[in-house]
């Protein structure tokens, strides 16, 4: 099963097995990782599952939709070029080893 | 002094958020959630969307895994029902016979399905859609249903219809008003979705109610409408709105009028008792007067607001309301409250299914309804949080840059 590493804003790392087809957001919620809020449950109506993707892994992540780009305007923490909504990062075998950094705040 | 106790009645999205935010805000007292459902707090929106369609499962419904509650010392009393609120002694009576003392009481009691008072409403196959248990029954029934009648064309009814039609069943939607979703959207959006459902193959009868529901051997066989049609049916979904769960608040001497009356801090007349989410009737700058809203945004932001007050960070509740609905290929996103607009202008390509309706009252933008047009929705949420200063002419002109407008208004 692909492994995803979540890095908290204090630097703590947690690596979790996330099944293929499950989003990086849902993987965090199901494993009790604080730092992902996911208010709308993955409907792209909020931006509280914001993560920063490890820069050199950006190319492996699925393309950003216009809707995701629009909704990223609502991030509570600074939006950067590697900002993503983790509900849109659906895990595939290619995403094994993905590292995402959790922002300081989601709201 | 003993550590304070917060009792939260209701384990829906609002109650969950209040509990989670209390811990996030550093509240160190006891938190007890009381809910009558047998399961941990879950999200309701997917019940009429992806969960119903079997595109998502139970794992995706839970707001948090069960371990979250123990980890954050949030006690969840499931399958438990509140029977009385004693405000003098600050005690709750529970159906199990237990009592619970509290220092702060958060009523997040939600709303319940409004039954249809017609003969035959008790027949097997006449079903509501409000809870996970309801959705599980409908999931099963949808596998066999051939002829479905949806009574009530609100969000839930139309979302259900858009899932049901993909199963090859015939779907007939009847709506007592002339305007589906008319309580919450403009005539343009209402018409757009009515047309879409007809295109997808549903029959839609407007201005039509139910006279009685017919059955044989205890099972539904059809619906007789107020205009004399007979619609054969093996499944009838009743979705004609909800009733806020406010009886216990009323019994405790709190004011109730279409929900539990609260002030701009979401407190009742008793400063230790709050109401949030679907059951709360609150004043808002986004409408003329008071509103009661049924939405995730409202539940979450109000839960957070009340947690802040209890944790010692009081703030007026003034969040921009937003809503969404998924029907077929269309995502409807609403920012603000558009009810009561006097001017509605279209922006975008309605025929192509990418557009927004900007709604104004007395020249001021009060809300925006977007169909597959998230960029407009985002702009609208930003604008409505401040002074929008957008004219109907600007809104209708697709060459007018709304993002630039938003930035210039914010900079002012």
Chain A nearest C-alpha distance from B169 (Å): 27
Could A74 and B381 be called an inter-chain contact, meaning their C-beta atoms sit closer than 8 Å?
Answer: yes
CA distances from B136 to B56, B83, B241, B308, B411 (A): 12, 27, 20, 35, 50
Q: Are the beta carbons of A70 and B68 separated by less than 8 Å?
A: no
CA geometry: angle at B112 spanning B148 and B370, to 5°? 70
Tell me how far apart the alpha carbons of residues B157 and B175 are, in angstroms, rounded to a whole number.
10
Please indicate if any CB of chain A lies within 8 Å of the CB of B67.
Answer: yes
Q: Given a cut of 80, is residue A71 above it in pLDDT?
A: yes
Kindly list the residues from chain B whose CB atom is less than 8 angstroms away from the CB atom of residue A105: none
What's the whole-model pTM score?
Answer: 0.96
CA distance linking residue A72 with residue A82, whole number of Å: 11
Chain B CB within 8 Å of residue A32 CB: yes
ipTM (interface predicted TM):
0.94
User: Exposed, middle or buried by CB within 10 Å (0-12, 13-18, 19+), for B404?
Assistant: exposed
pLDDT digits (tens, 9 = 90+) for B110-153: 999 999 999 999 999 999 999 999 999 999 999 999 999 999 99
Question: What is the pLDDT, as a whole number, of residue B1?
Answer: 53
B115-240: CATH topology is: FAD/NAD(P)-binding domain (3.50.50)
Same CATH topology for B5-112+243-310 and B115-240: the answer is yes
Q: CA dihedral in degrees (B114, B337, B303, B272; nearest 10)?
A: -80
Nearest-Cα residue of chain B relative to residue A74: B378
Q: Is A64 helix (H, G, I), strand (E, B) or coil?
A: coil
CA-wise closest residue to A57 among A92, A11, A8: A92
Query: In Å, how far is A66's CA from the nearest CA of chain B?
Result: 8
Q: Does A63 touch chain B (CB under 8 A)?
A: no
Query: Superfamily for B329-411?
Result: FAD/NAD-linked reductase, C-terminal dimerisation domain (3.30.390.30)
Min distance A41 CA to chain B CA atoms (Å): 7
Q: Which residues of A touch B63 (CB under 8 A)?
A: 29
Nearest by CB: A45 against B67, B68, B322: B322
* Domains, in order of start, for chain A: 3-101 (3.10.20.30)
The residue of chain B with its CA nearest to that of A75 is B378
- Contact between B62 and A70 using a beta-carbon 8 Å cutoff: no
Nearest beta carbon to residue B68 from set A32, A45, A66: A32
* H-only helix segments in B55-214: 66-71, 132-144, 155-164, 187-199
| CA nearest neighbour of B370 among B397, B400, B333 | B333
Are B17 and A41 within 8 A, CB to CB? no
B221-253: pLDDT as tens digits: 999 999 999 999 999 999 999 999 999 999 999
pLDDT score at B3: 87
**Any chain B CB within 8 A of the CB of A20?**
no
B341 in A contact zone (CB under 8 Å): no
Rounded to the nearest angstrom, the minimum Cα separation between B183 and chain A is 22
CATH architecture of B5-112+243-310: 3-Layer(bba) Sandwich (3.50)
Nearest Cβ partner of B296 from A30, A40, A67?
A: A40
The token pair that represents B108 in the structure block:
């997040």
Alpha helices for B84-186 (secondary structure H): 132-144, 155-164
The pLDDT score that the predictor gives to residue B398 is 96
Structural tokens at position B153:
């064309």
Number of other residues whose CB lies within 10 A of the CB of residue B278: 26
- In this structure, what token pair is assigned to residue B185? 């959207």
Q: Do A66 and B333 lie within an 8 Å CB cutoff?
A: no
Q: How many angstroms separate the CA atoms of B173 and B161, rounded?
A: 8
Rounded to a whole number, what is the distance in Å from the CA of A27 to chain B's nearest CA? 10
* Chain B residue nearest residue A71, CA to CA: B378
- Give residue B411's pLDDT: 75
The domain limits of chain B are 5-112+243-310, 115-240, 329-411
CA distance B173 to B153: 7
Contact assignment for A42 to B60 by CB distance below 8 Å:
yes
Which residues of chain B carry a pLDDT beneath 50?
none
Contact by Cβ (8 Å): A44, A71:
yes
């Amino acid at each position: 099963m692909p492994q995803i590493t979540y890095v908290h804003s204090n630097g703590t790392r947690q690596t979790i097995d996330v099944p293929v087809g499950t989003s990086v957001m849902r993987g965090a919620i199901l494993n009790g990782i604080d730092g992902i809020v996911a208010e709308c449950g993955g409907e792209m109506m909020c931006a509280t599952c914001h993560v920063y993707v490890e820069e050199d892994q950006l190319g492996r992540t699925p393309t950003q939709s216009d809707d995701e780009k629009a909704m990223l305007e609502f991030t509570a923490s600074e939006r950067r070029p590697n900002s993503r909504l983790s509900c849109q990062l659906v895990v595939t075998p290619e995403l094994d080893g993905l590292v995402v950094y959790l922002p300081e705040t989601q709201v | 002094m003993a550590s304070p106790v917060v009792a939260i009645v209701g384990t829906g999205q609002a109650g969950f958020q209040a509990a989670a935010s209390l811990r996030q805000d550093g509240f160190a007292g006891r938190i007890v959630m009381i809910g009558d459902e047998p399961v941990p707090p879950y999200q309701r929106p997917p019940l009429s969307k992806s969960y119903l369609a079997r595109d998502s499962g139970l794992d995706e419904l839970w707001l948090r895994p069960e371990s979250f509650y123990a980890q954050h010392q949030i006690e969840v009393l499931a399958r438990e029902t509140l029977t009385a609120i004693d405000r003098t002694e600050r005690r709750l009576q529970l159906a199990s016979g237990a009592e619970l003392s509290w220092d702060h009481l958060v009523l997040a009691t939600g709303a319940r399905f409004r039954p249809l008072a017609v003969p035959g409403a008790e027949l097997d196959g006449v079903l509501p859609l409000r809870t996970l248990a309801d959705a599980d029954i409908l999931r099963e029934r949808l596998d066999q249903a051939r002829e479905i009648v949806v009574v009530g064309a609100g969000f839930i009814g139309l979302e259900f219809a858009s899932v049901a039609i993909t199963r090859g069943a015939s779907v007939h939607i009847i709506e007592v008003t002339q305007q589906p979703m008319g309580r919450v959207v403009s005539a343009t959006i209402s018409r757009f979705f009515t047309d879409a459902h007809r295109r997808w193959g549903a029959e839609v009868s407007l201005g039509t109610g139910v006279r009685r529901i017919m059955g044989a051997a205890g099972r539904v066989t059809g619906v007789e409408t107020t205009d004399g049609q007979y619609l054969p049916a093996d499944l009838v979904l009743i979705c004609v709105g909800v009733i806020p769960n406010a009886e216990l608040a009323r019994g405790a001497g709190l004011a109730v009028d279409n929900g539990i009356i609260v002030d701009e801090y979401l407190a009742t007349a008793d400063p230790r008792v709050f109401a949030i989410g679907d059951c709360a009737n609150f004043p808002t700058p986004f409408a003329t007067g008071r509103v009661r809203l049924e939405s995730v945004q409202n539940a979450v932001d109000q839960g957070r607001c009340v947690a802040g007050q209890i944790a010692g960070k009081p703030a007026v509740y003034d969040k921009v309301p937003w809503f969404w609905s998924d029907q077929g290929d269309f995502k409807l996103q609403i920012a603000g409250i558009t009810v009561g607009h006097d001017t509605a202008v279209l922006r975008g390509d309605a025929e192509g299914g990418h557009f927004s309706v900007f709604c104004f009252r007395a020249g001021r933008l009060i809300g925006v309804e977007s169909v597959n047009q998230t960029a407009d929705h985002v702009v609208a949420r930003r604008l409505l949080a401040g002074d929008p200063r957008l004219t109907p002419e600007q809104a209708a002109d697709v060459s007018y840059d709304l993002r630039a407008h938003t930035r210039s208004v914010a900079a002012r």
